[in-house]
Amino acid sequence: MHANLRTMMLFFVLIVLFGIIGWVVGTYFFGDWMLGSLVFLGIAAAINIVSYFYSSKIVLWSYRAKIVTPAEAPRLHKIVQDICLKADMPMPKLAIVKTATPNAFATGRNKNNAVVAVTTSLLDILSDDEIKGVLSHEMAHVKDKDILIMSVAATIAGAISFAARMLWWNAMFGRSRDGNAWLLLIVAITVPIAALLLQLGISRGREYKADYEGSMIIQRPLSLARALEKLEDANKKRPIDRGNPASSSLFIVNPFRGQGIFNIFSTHPPIKERVRRLENLAQETGFLR
C-alpha cells in the first residue's frame, strides 16, 4: 500500500510539472496556455497508445528475443509454471535472448499478454533457486502492471523534455513575448530534471516492490538476493551490446553501464540496498532461503 501511494504521489507531481511546462509553452508559442497544454497532452496520449499496444513487440524485436516452447526450454517453463501456480497467475509467453550478458525482463500490457524473457547466460550462471527468484520478481512486475506504469511515466517525462527543448531554443535564439528569456531558460533546465528524477523514483519504487512481492510468492528472498549479486557483477563486466538504454527499466538489473555521476540517474536502486532489504525480509519472515 505504501509503495502504491508513493507511486501515485510521484505521478501527481509529474502531471503538475507537465501542466507547468504546457502552460509556459502555450503562453510563449501559441498565446494560449490551454492550447499548449492540450497539444502536449495529445502528443503524450498518442505515444501512450502506441506504447500500450506495441511496446512488447518492439522490445522483443530490439533484443532479438525468440519465443520458446516447453519442448525447446523445459527447465525455464517448469520454473515459471511453478511460480504461476503459487501466484495464481496465467502462464506468460517465454522468450530467450542470446547474449553473454545475464539478465531478464518482462513486457506486455497485462498478465494475459505478458512475455518474460531471459538471456542464455542467465540460465548458465544461476541455479534453479536463483532463477526462480529472478522470474518471481518479473512475474510480480506483470501482476502489478508495472510495464504499463513505467511506459506512462516515461511518456510524460519525454513530453516534458521535448517541450523544454523548445523553450530552450526559443530563449536562446527567439524573442519571448515579455523578454523573459531567463525565465524560459530556468524552466527549460529545471523542470525536465525534476521530471526525470520523479520518473526514476517511480521506477526504483517498483523495483523494491517487485523484489518484495516476488520473494513472498516463492518464500525465498535470499535466492533473489544471491541472484542479484551475481547479475550485478556480471553486467558490470559485460554490459549488453544491443537495444536501447531507454528500456533499461525493464530489466532486473541495469544492463547499460554509466560511469560516475550518471549512476545517479540509474533506473534501478543500488543492488546493495536491494540485497540488504531482502536479507532483512528473510530474517523477519523466517524464509531463510
d(CA 44, CA 253) in angstroms, rounded, equals 27
For the question of residue 273 being annotated catalytic, the response is: no
- Marked catalytic residue, from 138, 207, 213, 232: 138
Cell of 66: 525468440
Please give the C-alpha separations between residue 245 and each of 165, 197, 199, 253, 257, in angstroms, as whole numbers. Answer: 20, 16, 15, 12, 9
Q: What is the DSSP letter of 64?
A: T
Tell me the HSE value of 160 on the side-chain side, using a 13 A CA sphere.
Answer: 28
Rounded CA separation 228/222 (Å): 10
Q: How far apart are CA 214 and CA 216, in angstroms?
A: 5
Instruction: Please name the helix (run of DSSP H) or strand (run of DSSP E) that holds residue 49, with its range, or none.
Output: helix 33-62
- 3-class state of residue 107 by DSSP: strand
**Long-range contacts of 238-244, Cβ-Cβ distance < 8 Å, separation of 24 or more:** 238/100, 238/101, 239/101, 240/99, 240/101, 240/103, 241/99, 241/101, 242/62, 242/63, 242/64, 242/99, 243/62, 243/63, 244/62
- CB count within 10 Å of CB 284 equals 9
Distance CA 181, CA 204 (A): 35
Whole-number Å distance between alpha carbons of 195 and 214: 28
- Catalytic residue annotation: 138
